[in-house]
Structure 1
Amino acid sequence: MTLAYDEPAMADLDEVDRALIDALVADGRASYAALARRIGMSQAAIKARVLRLLDSGAIHILGRIDPRALGYGEFAYCLIDAEGPVEPVAGRLAEMEEAAFVLILAGTRGLFVEFRARDAEHLDAAIEAARADPQVRGIDASSLVAYVKQDWSHSPAGDHRLGARRRTVDATDIRLLKHLAADGRATFAELAEVAGMSHAATRERVLALMAAGVVTVQTIVSPGVLGVKGYAGLMIEVDGPAGPVAEEIAAVADLTLVAIVLGRFDVIAEASYRDEAHLAELLDRVRSVEGVRQVEAFVYLVEVKESMTAGLS
């Protein structure tokens, strides 16, 4: 997610811009011709608007790579207590290949880190390496069981769940995935040059990667455009089976992620909020879900690292 707020606001966009954003959230690789038909403008005008939205930072269109397709099948969400200033610790943890996300938090917990690993042994080794940091006093780790909701677009139209089917990726796939991770709207002609293949063969391969869930092209709408002030993480304890409770929690609007985990907590969630009153309302709505016993919340302050391409090197 993006934590900076010097971004375009929704007030800076007109109705055509907003309609374009909705269309691109639905399909980040929609052609200019398809967008022109949907909006009712010329292709040239639509292309100019899309490029302006991208250049201004109002939207980002990129390929999200499912790490499981690259051999990363174990995930852990960790709240970390650190002694002294947390920024140096965050910097050191961000250097770890297994650390996909590193966030500095407000509250009693100084840091949040998501680790990704090839197997349980690799994951344990990564967490132990983090524990060995001289400033780390403790780590509360929760292992991922299943995602219930993942809304990468941070938009009501963009509920996307992680779900790659089994597929072996080769060196050509890796080249294509690297390019799509940087530019989700790269043309098939550009991708064919990267892959060293014909246009038709490249198109077939990219569509197969997308159909298998290995890569999902997503339009990320900036927080400023959505009127989002910030993000908060929720660590939730429940009574009884976690699955039904997690499904109910996922129905709460403005939660961008809900997952079932193992550890001291049973469910984790991420919320986007407009202001403190909105965050308080969201927390109460989650607390009111039947089966929720306790919610521990923490506000994201600084995103030190976000890496969605582990394994592509």
Structure 2
Amino acid sequence: MESDTPPLDTLDLQLLHALEIDGRASFSRIAEALGVSDRTVARRYERLCAAGKLRVIGAADSSRSGAAEWLVRLRVLPHGTEALAHALARRPDTAWVTTISSGTEITCIFRVPAGGSVPLAALARHPQVRDVSAQQLLIHLMNGRWRGRTSALTGDQIAALRPPYPNEAAPVSLIDLDRALVPALAADGRATYPDLARRLGWSESAVRRRLEELRRAQVLRLEVEVDPAQFGYSAQCVLWLTIAPAQLIGVAKALGTDDEVAFVGVTTGAHNLIVVTVLRDSAALATYLTERIGALDGIERMEATPITSYTKRTAPRS
């Protein structure tokens, strides 16, 4: 995300934190919590979006919509990486399309409906792909989002912005409207109700009611896509860990509390734990790998692959 716009200031950081709490919070509600004008918040949001520094998107929670998540690794020829990554990003069934290992590998998440499958054979036939493998994501273990972008607000501000949805929600069955609404929100999680109604051909009241039902049931999540480099964190890495089975959950939970960690997932396959780390620089990464990861009991093998770039940032549920 290259831009000539100024670096993030305190208000930018507060706005990003506010959107992490409620991606569809009105500008007036955010402004009240931050103690600034509605117009100031709107201008900041528009500036960050126009500069490519911020995007709010909607995504269905796989665990509540009956889908399975598969982590797919594609080892590719370097000259074809960018085109293939963009092709994968355009697919509605992918999330978190990431180039790693200096452009020689693409890692992505496929969200597959119940009874569906990952198109491994088609991917393996692609002329730029040298090897493809898949591991199912079984459990997500995090105590919250990456704290590097959720530390700008006070407790009172967080409480004022938190949406009034229960921690435990009754499941809902997806309907025809949802199959159009969720992709529309994936393009713009803050699209207005009138705009969504026009695009989907449903009444504004129906769209408003259904969106709130999906959020209350925790089927629809709102994610904030923002590059950690904007916060001064330039070393992002995917760790593929093999943990002794008896210690797997304990290690996963422990890493999920680390400020350096953005995502932890238990998987099938030889590597049974995936961890995404976000650190200031390569020296901090080296320290984390040797002093934190190296000190944990039960780790049998580790592979660290630096993240080169993101093509699609819709992360797995966390």
CA shift digits 1:97-156 (9 cap, x unpaired) = 565454433279634343343357723xx2243334466554443221111137389624
Partner of 1:186: 191
- Normalised TM-score (structure 2): 0.77
Query: Is the contact between residue 154 and residue 221 of structure 1 (CA under 8 Å) also seen in structure 2?
Result: no
Instruction: Give the counterpart of 1:60 among 51, 55, 58.
Output: 55
Q: Distance in 1 between matches of 2:130 and 2:230?
A: 38
Partner of 1:86: 78
Q: Which amino acid aligns with 2:137?
A: L
Matches within 5 A, 1:100-249: 100-106=95-101, 110-119=105-114, 122-123=117-118, 126-133=119-126, 136-149=129-142, 151=145, 155-156=149-150, 166-241=171-246, 242-249=248-255
Partner of 2:158: none
Partner of 1:262: 268
After superposing the two structures, state which structure 1 stretch, 274-283 or 213-222, moved more.
213-222
Partner of 1:288: 295
Q: Distance in 1 between matches of 2:216 and 2:13?
A: 28
User: Which secondary structure does the structure 1 equivalent of 2:100 belong to?
Assistant: strand
Query: Is the contact between residue 58 and residue 221 of structure 1 (CA under 8 Å) also seen in structure 2?
Result: yes
**1:13 maps onto 2:8 in alignment:** yes
Q: Distance in 1 between matches of 2:128 and 2:201?
A: 48
User: Which secondary structure does the structure 2 equivalent of 1:265 belong to?
Assistant: coil
Query: Is the contact between residue 75 and residue 114 of structure 1 (CA under 8 Å) also seen in structure 2?
Result: yes
Aligned pair count? 294
Q: Distance in 1 between matches of 2:13 and 2:33?
A: 13
Q: Alignment identity in percent?
A: 25
User: Which secondary structure does the structure 2 equivalent of 1:122 belong to?
Assistant: coil
Unpaired segments of 5 or more residues in structure 2? 153-167
Partner of 1:44: 39
Q: Which amino acid aligns with 2:281?
A: D
Cα deviation for residue 297 of structure 1 reads 0.6
CA shift digits 1:235-261 (9 cap, x unpaired) = 001123322221111112121110001
Closer, same or farther: CA 221–101 of 1 in aligned 2, 3 Å = closer
Cα RMSD between the aligned structures? Answer: 3.4
After superposing the two structures, state which structure 1 stretch, 105-114 or 57-66, moved more.
105-114
